[in-house]
Amino acid sequence: MANIADIAILVLLVVASSLAATPHTTEAAKHVVQWIIPASQNSSSFYSNLFANTKFNLNDILVFNYTTGFHNVVTLSKDDFKDCNVKKKMETFETGPTMIELNRTGEYYFACAFPFHCSLGQKLSVNVMASSSSPAMAPSSTASHLSAAATFPALLMVIAINILF
C-alpha cells in the first residue's frame, strides 16, 4: 500500500521529467552547403533551388564546405552579386569549411571569387528572417501542451499502480 509521501515523490519525478523533456526553441539551425561549381545545366539557379524551401532565421549558421585553396567565400552587395563582380568583395573567407553566423536579418550575398566560379553558378543569396522568437514560440507552446496532456494519464496510472500493489 502506498503512502502519501510515495505518491508525492512520484508526482514530483513525473513533473520534473516532463519539464526536462520540453524542447529548447532558441537553438540555431546549421545549414551545410557543399560549395562547388554546380554541375547542373541550370547552374545559375542551382543554389537558390537548393535552398528554395529553407528558412534562414537569425543566428542560424551557414557552413560552406569546400577544400581550402579550391574555392573561397566572399560577400557582395546586391548589384555586385547579380553581375558576379567579385572584385568588389566586402569580406573574404578562404579557409574551408567557412562558418558564417547569420547574425543580422536581411539579405546576404555570397559568391566564390575564383575566376569564373561565380558566373558558372557558385553564388548564393539568403534572406535571414527575425522569426526565431515569435513563430518558434507557437510550436513550442503546442509541444508543452502535448507533453502535459501526455503526462497526466501517465501520472494517474503510476498512482493507481502504486495504490493497487
Ligand X SMILES: *[C@@H]1O[C@H](CO)[C@@H](O)[C@H](O)[C@H]1NC(C)=O
Map the footprint of ligand X across residues 81-110, applying CB under 6 A.
100-101, 103
Q: CA of 77: how far to CAs of 42, 118, 142, in Å?
A: 23, 14, 40
Out of 22, 45, 92, 95, the residue judged to bind ligand X by CB under 6 A: 45
Which three-class secondary structure state does DSSP give residue 1?
A: coil
- The residue (of 47 and 132) whose beta carbon lies closer to Cu ion is 47
Contact predicate 7/155, CB 8 Å: no
Contact predicate 147/22, CB 8 Å: yes
Out of 71, 74, 108, 132, the residue judged to bind Cu ion by CB under 5 A: 71
Map the footprint of ligand X across residues 121-160, applying CB under 6 A.
none
Segment lying near Cu ion (by CB under 5 A), choices 17-25, 107-115, 128-136, 145-153: 107-115
SS (H, E, C) 41-77: CCHHHHHHHHCCCCCEECCCEEEEECCECCECEEECC
Segment lying near Cu ion (by CB under 5 A), choices 9-17, 77-85, 100-108, 112-120: 112-120
Distance between CA atoms of 45 and 106, rounded to whole angstroms?
20
Out of 59, 65, 151, 162, the residue judged to bind ligand X by CB under 6 A: 65
Q: Which of the listed partners (ligand X, Cu ion, none) does 92 bind, with a CB threshold of 5 to 8 Å by partner kind?
A: none
Which spans of this chain sit near ligand X (rule: CB under 6 A)? 32, 42, 45, 49, 65, 100-101, 103
